[in-house]
Chains A and B, each alone.
Chain A
C-alpha cells in the first residue's frame, strides 16, 4: 500500500471541512468548488461532491440559493449557516490541536 492510498481515508474525512472553508469566503457553486480543489490533493468529482453537499445540507451546515446565470440554467449557490460557521471554527481549533500534538510527540 502506497502512502497515497493510506492517506485516502484521511483526505476523505477532511473534504467536508475543506468545503466548509471554501464556502466560508463567499457564496460558491459546485463548479467553483471543484476548480478550487482541482490543483490540490483534494481534487474531487461531482459524483462525490453532490451527495456530500446534500448530506451537509441535511445536517444544516450549509444551505443554497438559486441564482440565474448569464449562460445556461440557474445555479445552486452554497453558503454557510450559523451552525456551519461554528463547525468550521471547531474544526480549525481541533486541527491546530492535532498539529501541536503531532509536533510535541516528535520531541
Chain B
C-alpha cells in the first residue's frame, strides 16, 4: 500500500504513488533549473508536462487509475533529461537518476517576500525586502526613512500595510525562499559559515581579539619552553613510572645542570674581566677594529644563547616534578650553584696569581675596567662623528661641484 498524490500536469489530473511523485518532481525541478535562462522556459515546461501526461495516459485503464512508481520511472526514462545547447548529450538515452546526480542542474528555488524576524528593528519588513532583493538591510532602511520624510509620513502606511500583508518566514524553507536560496543541507552549512563570518567581523570582534591574544601568549610560552619540554619528555622516556622516574631523573640532572651553569657563569665573568683589563679574551686578542663595548655586548649575547637551554631544562625539571616538589629542586639547584661559584672563586683566588692580584686591587681594577669601557665608547663615538663629518663634507663638495 502506498500514499497516492494527485498532481496537475498541464491541466490533466493524475494519481501518482508517492515515490513516483518524488521522481517526477525531481525531474521537473531539474528541467526548470536547466531552462532557467531560457526565454521560452514556461512554454517548454508546458510542452514537457503535456508529453509526460500523454505518456502517463498510456498506462491508465478504466479500472487502473493510479500510476505506480515504476511506470513514472519508465515515462521519465523515455522523456530523457532536459538538455539545452550548453550541455552535451550523453550519447543516447540517459536515465533521469543519472541526470539528477549531475551538479549543474540545481533546481531554481522559488523566491518569495517574507518578513524576517531575525535582525528586525520593527517587524522585519525591511529585512525581508533586503533578502528578497539581495541588498544590505541598512540601505532598505535608509530608503524607507527617506521615503517617509519625502511623503510627509504617508510611507509609514505602506510599511504598516506590508506588516499586515506579508507573511512571516518561520521555517527554514521559508527563510531560504525569502532569499531565493535552494534549501538543502549544503546551503544551510554555507549560510551558517557566512553568518559566523559576519558575527566574527562585527560585534564580537573585541572578545575574539582578546581570545586571539591569549592564544598568542600561550603559543609564545610554548615555544619558550620548547627546550624545556623536550628535555622533560626525555626525562619521562627513560623513567619507568612517571612520578618516581621523573623524580629520579630530576635528582640526577639538577646537580649536573647546577654545576654546568655555575661554571659557565664563572667562565663568562672571567672572559669579561680579561676582556676589560687586557683587551683580549684569555690571551686571544679581539680584532682591533671592534670596540670594547661591542665585544662585551657580543659576549653577553653568546652567554645568553648558551645559558638559555640550560635555564629551560631546569624549568622543565621543575615542571616534571609534580606538586610542590619543584621548590626543593629549586632550592637544591641554587645551593649547588652558589656552592660551585664559591669553590671556583676560592680556587682561583688561592691558585691563580692574576685572579689573586685582581681581587687584591679590586677597587682599582673596577675603575680601570670602567675607564676602559667608557674610553672605548668615546673613542668609537668620536670615530663615528669624524666619519659623519667626512661624509657630510664629501656630500657638500659634490653638491657644490654639481652646482658649479
Is A50's CB under 8 angstroms from B80's CB? no
Contact: B43 with A45, CB < 8 Å? no
Q: Is the CB of B88 within 8 A of A72?
A: no
Interface of A is mostly: helix
Q: Judge whether B40 is part of the interface by a CB distance below 8 angstroms.
A: yes
Q: For B82, what are the chain A residues with a Cβ–Cβ distance below 8 Å?
A: 47-48, 50-51
Question: Which of A4-12, A18-26, A83-91 contacts the other chain?
Answer: A4-12
Tell me the residues in window 1-49 of chain A with beta carbons closer than 8 Å to chain B beta carbons: 4-5, 8-9, 12, 30-31, 43-48
Chain B hits for A5, CB < 8 A: 91
Assess whether B38 is in contact with A54, with CB atoms less than 8 Å apart: yes
- Which B residues are closer than 8 A to A by beta carbons? 11-12, 31, 34-35, 38-40, 43-44, 47-48, 50-51, 54, 57, 78-85, 88-89, 91-93
Separation in Å of the A35 CB from the closest CB of chain B?
Answer: 13
| Beyond A8-B88, A8-B92, A47-B79, 12 additional pairs, beta carbon < 8 A | A8-B89, A9-B88, A45-B79, A46-B51, A47-B83, A48-B80, A50-B44, A50-B51, A50-B82, A51-B34, A51-B44, A51-B85
From known contacts A12-B89, A72-B54, A76-B47, infer whether A46 and B80 are also in contact, taking CB-CB under 8 Å.
yes
- Known pairs A47-B80, A48-B80; A12 contacts B88 (CB<8 A): yes
CA distance A48 to B92 in the complex (A): 10
Chain A interface bracket (under 10, 10 to 19, 20 to 34, 35 or more) = 20 to 34
Nearest A-chain residue to B52, judged by Cβ: A46
Residues of A within 8 A of B (CB): 4-5, 8-9, 12, 30-31, 43-48, 50-51, 54-55, 57-58, 72-73, 76
In contact, A47 and B91 (Cβ under 8 angstroms): no
Cross-chain contact A51 with B84 (CB below 8 angstroms)? yes
Query: In the complex, which residues of chain B have a beta carbon less than 8 angstroms from the beta carbon of A57?
Result: 40
Contact call B91/A50, Cβ cutoff below 8 A: no
CA A12 – CA B87 in complex, angstroms? 11
In chain A, what residue has the closest Cβ to B51? A46
* A–B pairs, 24, beta carbons within 8 Å: A8-B89, A9-B88, A30-B51, A45-B79, A45-B80, A45-B93, A46-B78, A47-B79, A47-B81, A50-B47, A51-B34, A51-B38, A51-B83, A51-B84, A51-B85, A54-B47, A55-B84, A57-B40, A58-B39, A58-B40, A72-B54, A72-B57, A73-B50, A76-B47
Contacts of B11 in A (CB 8 A): 73
Residues of A near B84 (CB, < 8 A) are 51, 55
List residues of chain A with CB within 8 A of the CB of B38: 51, 54
**Chain B contacts for A46, CB-based, 8 A:** 47-48, 51, 78-80
